[in-house]
């Protein structure tokens, strides 16, 4: 169950940053965090691959 904040944070869902940090930590732990590519376009692809792999793993 998600809690909704009040006051200046009204309308925002509480706990979303924690879920993102947990997912990022899990991806780094399971799939590694070092980039080996040198060219910017290859680095971008190398960053995208673990995201796609993670999505497939959780299905």
Three-class secondary structure of residue 41 per DSSP: helix
pLDDT at residue number 13: 65
> What region, left, alpha or beta, does residue 7 occupy, with left being phi > 0 and alpha being psi -120 to 50 degrees?
left
Cα gap 11→50, rounded to integer Å: 32
pTM above 0.75, yes or no: no
Contacts of 27 (CB under 8 A, 6+ apart): 50, 51, 54
Q: For the chain, give every domain's residue range.
A: 7-58
pLDDT single digits (tens) 2-56: 666 666 666 666 667 888 888 889 888 988 888 899 999 999 999 999 889 988 9
């Amino acid at each position: 169950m998600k809690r909704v904040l009040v006051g200046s944070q009204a309308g925002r869902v509480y706990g979303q940053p924690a879920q993102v940090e947990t997912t990022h930590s899990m991806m780094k732990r399971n799939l590694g965090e070092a980039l080996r590519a040198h060219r910017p376009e290859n680095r971008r692809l190398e960053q995208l691959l673990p995201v796609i792999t993670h999505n497939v793993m959780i299905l």
